[in-house]
Amino acid sequence: MRLPTIVNGILLLPALVWSAIGLNDLFRNGLYSYSSLFPFPFKMHTLSLLNVGMFYIATFLVVTPHKPVKNFLITCSLLFLFNAVYEFVFAVFYDWKGLIVTFPVVLGGLALVLLLNRRYSFLTSDRRKISLAMICFSCFFLLMLILNQSGFFEQVRLYLSGRTATDPHNPLWIVSKMVCLWTLFPLLKVSSVGLQR
């Protein structure tokens, strides 16, 4: 077995394990369950975990030329940027004070992705793909506006403060996280070779 194949397997293993854990929890406990991020001592929403796992696997496999460590770094940097952007927009609606933390983190995420792109050139310059990403981001922001209008963020405040036991997370929130993350995917340079891997 060649070394790159072994490295590929090792770097894909976390996403495969988390996806398996997420699917198990989804079928056993439902849409709004939480899943363990084994071996780390914390949990996240099951569907969020599955979303991240699928993005990790897809991005890791399709970025070309395929080099395991390079693809791992690119995938992790995009996941970091996604989380930073999502938390930034969430803070806009939930609590403006959160921008003090999330804004620098977004800038750091952008800097990291651009630095890696300068080294590996994995971002596309195709205007159609960039336009698609912009449309996806606009849809994400629209979903957050709808969540705000529906009272979602006020319900989150009540839930996190312990004034209600009802978890406010709903299908629209799930879709918003999925759209935010996959907004980044059209920005990648993907060849037919990458898709066949």
DSSP result, 131-185: HHHHHHHHHHHHHHHHHHHTTHHHHHHHHHTTS-------HHHHHHHHHHHHTTG
| Whole-number pLDDT of residue 57 | 95
Question: For residue 191, is pLDDT > 50?
Answer: yes
Report the share of the chain in percent with pLDDT over 70: 95
* pLDDT tens column, 120-175: 999 999 999 999 999 999 999 999 999 999 999 999 999 988 888 888 889 999 99
pLDDT above 50: residue 195: no
Map tokens 């990291």 to a residue.
Answer: 112
Phi, psi of 110 (to 5 degrees): -60, -45
How does pLDDT run across 26-53, given as a tens digit for each residue? 999 988 889 988 777 888 899 999 999 9
Helix, strand, coil percentages, rounded to 5, for the chain: 75, 5, 20
Name which of 151, 175, 196, 187 is nearest 31 in CA terms: 175
Share of the chain above pLDDT 90, in %: 72
Q: Which is more confidently placed, 194 or 123?
A: 123
Task: Tell me the pTM.
Answer: 0.90
pLDDT given for residue 193 in this prediction = 46
